[in-house]
Amino acid sequence: MTTYSHCMTRRRWTLLALVLLAAAMLPVIAGAVELKEPAPAIVGAPQMAPVLVDGHELFRVVGVAAYPAKRRAAEIAGRIIDLAQDPAFDSSSVQLADDEGTIVIVADATRVMTVLDQDAALEGLTTRIVAVAMAERIREAIDEYRQERAPGYIVRSVAVIAAVTFAVVALFWSLRWLFGRLLNVLEARYEARLDTLEERSAGAVDADQLWRVIRGLVSGIWWVALLMAISLAADVALQRLPWTRFLSYAFRTLVENPVRKMLSAVVDSIPNLVFLLILFFVVRYVLRMLQALFMGISRRSIKIAALEPDTAMVTYRLIRYGILAFALVVAYPYIPGSGSDAFKGISVFTGVLLSIGASSIVANTVAGYMLIYRKAFSLGDVVRIGEQVGRVADVRQQVSVLMTPKNEQVMIPNSVIVSAEVTNYSARVRAGQLILHSTVSIGYDTPWRQVEAMLLEAADRTPGLLKAPKPFVLKRELADFYVSYEINAYSDSAAKMLKTYSALHENILDVFNENQVQIMSPHFEAQPAEPVLARKE
């Protein structure tokens, strides 16, 4: 296994160094060419926007359809910047004035903005109080604008940015060394244990793959820590200089606000999550109690008249599905995001897919439970389903598996079995009533008592046929050229049914040849001159 220091390529380190260098040089480059602040994005309601100067939000204003809030806020910010850039302007000259019943904020003879009643409604205060606060904030913004462009402030800001950049680089190498050492320690201590685990699991656990997962986890933690440090350092660096502060504002809008909303949603969902946790443990406890009860019934240690041991666990599974469905219905309103349109859309879409594509699955599953409760057959029974004869090897939710005498595995959908005729030979064996039978056609010139005796003799010679109850012969048909006789004998093994039939037919041929009685198959249209018999030898 390679150490962590060899996992990082030289190209990746070079690219990361260039990114850090660009982050450090960006404020200096931006200081040479002053960047024009773009129109701020609307925050909150569509008709409300913040007035931003150098990335600082002074206050918020409203707008109308003809004069949108975004445009109004940008124009107010532009006037404030123009005043701040005028060295002859004194910020203390920003005052309030009345203009035909409205309150305006003026600077000397320049109208900075008009304070609307709707602006005051945002704060829930009177228009004059809000206007006084806005004028004071404008004066502070003008002073801050000039102070942040003083040479001393810029020098201090560049020094802070350099220190932050150095700290990030030092943290980068420290984390690289720390996690490299951590991987080396883990490799030295647990490599042999992972190989032993692979040997004990008979190859089910791949030591190399497991080690790659551990190494990837450590590497992921390293990258997360590094990206968090870079993000924090970039935000501090961008905040120091007024020309780059709007980038910090944009970064917070794109990254921090979604994260803050996610964390806020998690905090707000804590009561619901506690309810879901309690519901989980209650349902789990109830299911464990029911499982112990039904396992006792299946083992016959607990007896309940309404429940049979053979179907106890199947009944438990059905009850479990019902409890889980009920718990899901109860938990649904408390699932975070369950009331959102996206969640509802996914639920509807999933329901449509299930209703369209899972109809056969549901039908086969229901049919599987019907078969179990109908007790048409059990595992190991020899059955005939349609044209298929075989031993029941497995009964699943969707299909039942038959093993034919030719050792073929046949899977039959349960819905087909429910609608088909099922002949269970093993059930008659358990009741002592399985009858094997075979039919022969004999000419009218042979006495029926002799034929009956020969058939009974053949049955008596056949292993696998019971002596009691006694075999019996039926005269099935008086045809044009022959009499149809049927030998019936009881058997105690459905699994050996084909072998028993073969032995019975062998003995019928032997007995009839020994008594020189020909079997009329194929049919004869006239009696032959000599009996059609197999030679004795």
- AA identity, residue 32: A
CB atoms under 10 Å from CB of 208, counted, come to 11
Is 366 in contact with 358 (CB distance < 8 Å)?
no
Question: What's the farthest any 2 CA atoms get from each other in the chain?
Answer: 145
The domain defined by 377-428 carries CATH number 2.30.30.60: yes
Parse the chain into domains and list their residue ranges: 55-147, 271-357, 377-428, 432-514
Q: How far is residue 74's CA from residue 37's CA, in Å, rounded to a whole number? A: 9
Strands (E) located in 206-344 = none
Q: 516: which residues sit within 8 A by CB, 6+ positions away?
A: 531, 533
Q: What is the CA radius of gyration of the chain?
A: 46
CB atoms under 10 Å from CB of 234, counted, come to 23
Q: 127: which residues sit within 8 A by CB, 6+ positions away?
A: 103, 115, 116, 117, 119, 120
Q: How far is residue 72's CA from residue 50's CA, in Å, rounded to a whole number? A: 10
CA distances from 186 to 2, 190, 214, 215 (A): 12, 6, 9, 9
Residues in the chain, pLDDT under 50: 1-46
Q: 48: which residues sit within 8 A by CB, 6+ positions away?
A: 42, 60, 61, 62, 63, 69, 122
pTM metric for this prediction:
0.44
What local confidence, expressed as pLDDT, does residue 203 receive? Answer: 56
Q: What CATH number does the domain located at 432-514 have?
A: 3.30.70.100
Q: How far is residue 397's CA from residue 120's CA, in Å, rounded to a whole number? A: 68
Is 473 in contact with 482 (CB distance < 8 Å)?
no
Q: How far is residue 116's CA from residue 46's CA, in Å, rounded to a whole number? A: 17
Q: Residue 56 pairs with which residues in a beta bridge?
A: 53
Q: Can you spell out the DSSP letters for 378-397?
A: -TT-EEEETTEEEEEEEE-S
Parallel, antiparallel, or unpaired: how do β-strands 110-115 and 382-385 relate?
Answer: unpaired
